[in-house]
Amino acid sequence: NEFSVCVCCTILCFSHFSQFHTALMNHQCGDVTMRVLEYETQRSQYRKEDIKRRIAQVQQLGDQATKEDRKLLAKDEKKYNMQINRQSKLMHVCLMALMNIAEEISVEKKMVNRKMVNVLTQIVLRDSEELLISALQFLKKLSVFEDNKDQMIAPEMLARLVHLSQHPNVNVALLALRVIYNLSFDANVRA
């Protein structure tokens, strides 16, 4: 995981300069970064289901759960939280690099064709403020186009955006409101 963070940070550093975008695209850095983001999103879902299953097993045992079972569950939860924090950092770096690379519309369309909106909607469900800000910035950028907007208007997504508009972090709240504003031009969303 540390190696992938270092590689993605290197790509992020180069992506800040538009002169390097062609070289990054020629060497498929955008594709690799997108694959890392997709993989980490899937891995996050798997880990979340796994920890929920473990918690349910211990709760099902109830009073029969031994001290060792509870201790093991606490250790697993701690490990899960550490993995989520590391994963959030990696995903944040990947999103920032992809957003920089997506300055060109053609590159942005490639990302959308690879279901970038779906990945972002899953990322918005997380709690890391840095990751939320990056995901909401990307969603705001993508929500300007009709095709992308149609993928974002799922009821769960709209409910999450409304919830995020009340977030204690002002940047998260403002970005959520901006995404909602861009989506509000659709009559179906306003209804």
Q: What dihedral do alpha carbons 163, 166, 167, 169 form, nearest 10°? A: 150
Blockwise average pLDDT, block size 10, the chain, 191 residues: 89 95 92 94 94 90 84 92 94 96 90 91 92 95 86 87 95 96 85 69
pLDDT at 67: 87
User: Nearest CA to 35 among 4, 10, 2, 81?
Assistant: 4
Cα torsion for 131, 133, 135, 138, to the nearest 10°? -140
Greatest distance between any 2 Cα atoms in the chain: 63
Alpha helices in 102-142 (DSSP H): 105-113, 116-123, 129-142
Torsional sign, CA 21, 25, 27, 30: positive
What letter represents residue 136's amino acid?
L
Neighbours of 92 (CB within 10 A): 22
pLDDT of residue 145: 84
pLDDT given for residue 62 in this prediction = 82
pLDDT of residue 189: 79
pLDDT at 70 (0 to 100): 86
Residues with Cβ < 8 Å from 168, sequence gap 6 or more? none
**Does residue 113 contact residue 131 with C-beta atoms inside 8 Å?**
no
Nearest to 52 by CA among 77, 27, 72, 71: 77
CA dihedral sign, ordered 95, 99, 102, 105: positive
